[in-house]
Amino acid sequence: MISSQELIDIAEKVKLYEPEALTRLFDLYFEKLRRYMYYKTGSLERAEDLAAETLTKGIESIGSFKDRGGTIGAWLFGIGRNLLAREREAAGKAEMVELEKEFPVEEDEQPERVVLVKLSNEELYQALSRLPDEQREVVLLRFMEGYDARTVGEIMGRKPGAVRALQFRAVQALKDMFEPGGVEA
Amino acid sequence: MSKNASRRDIRSFERRLRDLPRGESHTDRDAQPELESSLLGMLVSGGPELPAARRMDSLKATYVEHGTSLREQAIGSDAAVARPASVPRVRTRHVLARVAAVATVIVALLVGLGFGSAYAMPGNPLYSVKLAAESAYLSLVPGDQNKADAYASYTSRRLNELKYVEERGMSKWYYSLANDAQGGIEDTYGHGKRLRAGAAQKVTEKAQALTLRMEELLGGALGEMTPAQKASVESGLQRIRLQLRMRKGNPSGPSQQNGQPGNQNGQRNGT
């Protein structure tokens, strides 16, 4: 787990475009952003592009970033979210996206491992895919990325109370899906 | 999180969910922490694993290359230091904005205080503010005509205040107000005599009128001053009468004959 101080240092060095800091920022956030983008877009390829684009936009506008104690990650997620919103607005698409029917697995995985991975991820993936977009986003940011309600609120442009309400509804909905007779993967 | 562990956690999560109460009694307070804890345990440290990014290396290379070009641009245009330096600039702007805001508030308070104190009478805590505001205004007023008018106006105020304190028996104020009023009359005359004949005459008449009013008001007050104060005020009045060429009880003096007020060493008429 990276410390807040380390994140502050990285942000300061990124402001100077120090190559090592740029690389470190990419390594720290590309995968997180890609996963977030995947759950938002349902496309692995698009998720990769959007994650890289978010990081690129981030270093272009790093001068405007004001650190409030290791908050560069939340700031990047905010950029990514805006990027997606603008893209959807341009395409005239609704917020809700359809995820792929099955959770994607590596093609070169061994057959038994593929089944195992599909079993393990499929249930949660299917459950998440059925959540409304904002609830899914809260689950991703709160539980997968580990941000607190206040930070998630900053990323989503919502108040912490609204985030907690979305989180409550999301977790309730997940519970319903896992209930016997509920929507199973 | 390994895939086996992930699967195990999901099953555990599912079991926990099934064991939880449902229905109307299922509230945020009793159910959420456990649900969230299960979800957190299942998702934290990576959550469901996506297949490895196929183009990560090339995307990373492009990103780093872009960062390097940004660095070069910044150095080339002196903005490398400008980027980080833009933060201090922003801070400087914020500091200036704060200073401006504080200054505005102070000015507003001072103006408010000035207006608020305009009607303050001796004994009021704002009275000293009123005098300070007058003094500041007098130092800023340009030209002898304006200064003469301002001194005349403020002397009139002093005389009103003298009447006010006399009516209330506030004897400790008598001498200072009389003294201020005398100074005001002399300053009025002093600026007026530098003006052209017609304007100078008008100012002199104003000063004479103020002197007469002061003499009227001082009737009872002089008796309550100490002998030294009384002597000082009386000699001051005599000096003013000489300057203004006044005879006691008659503002019109010989100075009106030539339209010019006398000078400080002027001829003595009257008294």
pLDDT of the residue at A30: 93
CB A180 within 8 Å of CB B18: yes
**In A, residues 126-165, which contact B (CB 8 Å cutoff)?**
139, 143-144, 146
- Name, in order, each residue with C-beta under 8 angstroms of B158's C-beta and a sequence gap of 6 or more: B177, B180, B181, B184
In chain B, how many H helices and how many E strands?
Answer: 10, 0
pLDDT of the residue at B271: 31
Per-residue pLDDT for A65 more than 50? yes
Are B151 and B96 contained in the same domain?
no
pLDDT band at residue B262 under the 50/70/90 scheme: very low
pLDDT band at residue A44 under the 50/70/90 scheme: confident
- Nearest residue in chain A measured CA to CA from B20: A175
Write down which residue in B116, B133, B168 finishes a domain: B116
pLDDT digits (tens, 9 = 90+) for B129-142: 888 888 888 888 88
The answer to which of A17-26, A101-110, B42-51 has the lowest mean pLDDT is: A101-110
Which two tokens mark B180?
């201020």
B59 domain-assigned: no
Beta bridge partners of A31: none
What does A108-176 look like in DSSP terms, one character per residue?
A: TS-HHHHHHHHHHHHHHHHHHHTS-HHHHHHHIIIIIS---HHHHHHHHT--HHHHHHHHHHHHHHHHH
Provide the domain limits for residue B26.
Answer: 3-48
B56 domain-assigned: no
Per-residue pLDDT for B44 more than 50? no
pLDDT digits (tens, 9 = 90+) for A137-173: 888 888 777 788 888 888 888 898 899 889 888 877 8
B173 domain-assigned: yes
* A112: contact with B, CB 8 A cutoff: no
Are B99 and B161 contained in the same domain?
no
Are B106 and B161 contained in the same domain?
no
Chain A interface, best mutation among B1, B30, B59, B65, by max A CB count within 10 A: B59
Domains annotated on chain A, with CATH = 1-98 (1.10.1740.10), 100-185 (1.10.10.10)
pLDDT of the residue at A167: 86
Domain count of the fold of chain B: 3
CB B26 within 8 Å of CB A171: no
* A182: contact with B, CB 8 A cutoff: no
B102 domain-assigned: yes
What does B164-192 look like in DSSP terms, one character per residue?
A: HHHHHT-GGGHHHHHHHHHHHHHHHHHHH
- Give the rounded distance of the alpha carbon of B265 from its chain centre: 44
Are B109 and B44 contained in the same domain?
no
- Pairwise CB contact (< 8 Å): B63 & A16: no
pLDDT of the residue at B226: 87
Are B135 and B41 contained in the same domain?
no
- Pairwise CB contact (< 8 Å): B13 & A178: yes
Per-residue pLDDT for B15 more than 70? no
Higher per-residue confidence, B112 vs B227: B227
B77 domain-assigned: no
Are B99 and B25 contained in the same domain?
no
Chain B residues closer than 8 Å to A35 by CB: 47-48, 50
Are B254 and B128 contained in the same domain?
yes
B60 domain-assigned: no
* A35: contact with B, CB 8 A cutoff: yes
CB atoms within 10 A of CB A170: 26
B55 domain-assigned: no
CA distance A90 to chain B (A): 24
Are B136 and B14 contained in the same domain?
no
Are B129 and B254 contained in the same domain?
yes
Of B189, B126, B120, the closest CA to residue B157 belongs to B120
CB B11 within 8 Å of CB A151: no
- Nearest residue in chain A measured CA to CA from B26: A172
Are B107 and B127 contained in the same domain?
no
pLDDT band at residue A129 under the 50/70/90 scheme: confident
Are B249 and B157 contained in the same domain?
yes
Which among B17, B47, B60 has the least Cβ separation from residue A178? B17
- Pairwise CB contact (< 8 Å): A60 & B70: yes
Which among B39, B51, B71 has the least Cβ separation from residue A143? B39
Are B136 and B200 contained in the same domain?
yes
B65 domain-assigned: no
Mean pLDDT, all residues of chain A: 78
pLDDT of the residue at B98: 84
- Name, in order, each residue with C-beta under 8 angstroms of A141's C-beta and a sequence gap of 6 or more: A36, A77, A147, A151, A152, A155, A156
pLDDT digits (tens, 9 = 90+) for B206-249: 999 999 999 888 888 888 888 888 888 888 888 898 888 876 55
